[in-house]
Amino acid sequence: MDKLIIKGGNKLKGDVQVSGSKNAALPIFVSTILAPGKNEIRNVPFLRDINTTIKVLESLGAQVVGNGHIVTIDTAGINSCEATYELVKTMRASVLVLGPLLARFGKARVSLPGGCAIGARPINLHLKGLQALGAEINLEHGYVEAKAKRLKGARINFDISTVGGTEHLMMAAATAKGETILENAAREPEIVDLAQILNQMGARIEGAGTDTVRIQGVTELFPTTYSVMPDRIEAGTFMIAAAITGGDIRISGMKPEHLDALVFKLQDAGVEITSRDNVVRVKAPKKLKSVNIKTRPYPGFPTDMQAQFMALMCLAEGASVISENIFENRYMHVSELLRFGADIVIEGNSATVKGVKKLSGAPVMATDLRASASLILAGLAAAETTEISRIYHLDRGYESIEKKLAALGADIVRVKE
């Protein structure tokens, strides 16, 4: 098992390129089930979750070939409609194959998902939506079994905004008979990215990125070539890395409009942010100011940036209040940040962070993907040495982050434990 060793105190400077988005790539990969033939997906990040998705597709009979950041997925030969527990247990997004398999073959059997331990993320809204489209759903022995001769359009109103549910039902409804309307749909940029590739395949989807998505079902979809959007969470993590180390970096390939909520909060904290020609410059202030945040569905402050922002607030002047409104168990990084000398008190879904003058390096343990990033950020700013274990979480969502940080001047290495 690998761990990271960081000698903190270096100000990050220079240029960094943002990789393709993990959260956009996963459903895009799955969408190829609906378009039999060779689909070419570009700007694909090298990540554990990507490899897991490839294994799921290959287990169904797809042929997948990678060439650098380009992955060709040939789904013409899919001959299985079952995704097993052994594959699905490590990543929640695997359950998204259920709808496309059902839409194409009229049946599917998919294990209930696993993933990060950051709170309950049930798929009941996914299943309720598929039932509204005419699917017969049974839960047996930890598997979802679904049947339908052909899905039929329906009006579906989500009880809560769900990214995975919106993506899942967009795919399932793309070839359903008639019109499907998704109300209270999630609005994340990754949903827009999925709608764009589906439309390139021949789907008729309108309203992606708003809370009402309309899908006019078509009889079939066709293979295409598509480039994945940049990873806004990776971009946001680098923005905070510049701010927490007193640095000055330029981030290329990102879309700052995808991170408006984070940009506004960083500017409130005193960080200087300028954008030109898809390059964003982030310059740290002499002193960070404390800022309150509340996580919300997009376009609100992203829950996937909460842990990183908390690390930043550990060194801000004054006290900040961070409220987590998306996941009920997403403060597992707090106990590890305390080991750096942070001053954080949790009460319910809120954490009060009182800024300290400095953080001190410590041995810490990553508990989930974004918690891993927050510990790296704290380690970059801390005096002396930090060791972060269980970084396999990190490899699920950040492509070669230690190499990118080292290129900016960080003293960070990956070693075998």
What are the residue ranges spanned by the domains of the chain? Answer: 2-15+288-416, 22-227
Listed as ranges, residues in the chain with pLDDT below 70 are 114-121
pLDDT reported for residue 417: 79
CATH number listed for the domain at residues 2-15+288-416: 3.65.10.10
Which of 116, 241, 254, 284 is the catalytic position? 116
Same fold, 2-15+288-416 and 22-227: yes
pLDDT reported for residue 400: 94
Tell me, which fold does domain 22-227 have in CATH?
UDP-n-acetylglucosamine1-carboxyvinyl-transferase; Chain (3.65.10)
pLDDT reported for residue 278: 82
pLDDT reported for residue 88: 86
pLDDT reported for residue 115: 46
Identify the H or E element spanning 20: none
Two structure tokens written together for 211: 């809370």
Catalytic residue list contains 116? yes
Distance (Å, whole) CA 286 – CA 362:
25
pLDDT reported for residue 277: 84
Q: Give the CA angle between residues 121, 195, 57 to the nearest 5°.
A: 65
Mean pLDDT, all residues of the chain: 95
pLDDT reported for residue 119: 45
Of 348, 314, 252, 320, nearest in space to 16 by CA: 252
55: three-class secondary structure by DSSP: helix
Q: Which residues, including other chains, have CB under 8 Å from residue 264's CB and lie 6 or more apart?
A: none
Judge contact between 216 and 195, C-beta under 8 A.
no
Distance (Å, whole) CA 42 – CA 315:
39
Edge-to-edge order in the sheet of strand 143-147? 82-83, 107-111, 143-147, 136-140
Two structure tokens written together for 304: 């996937």
pLDDT reported for residue 112: 85
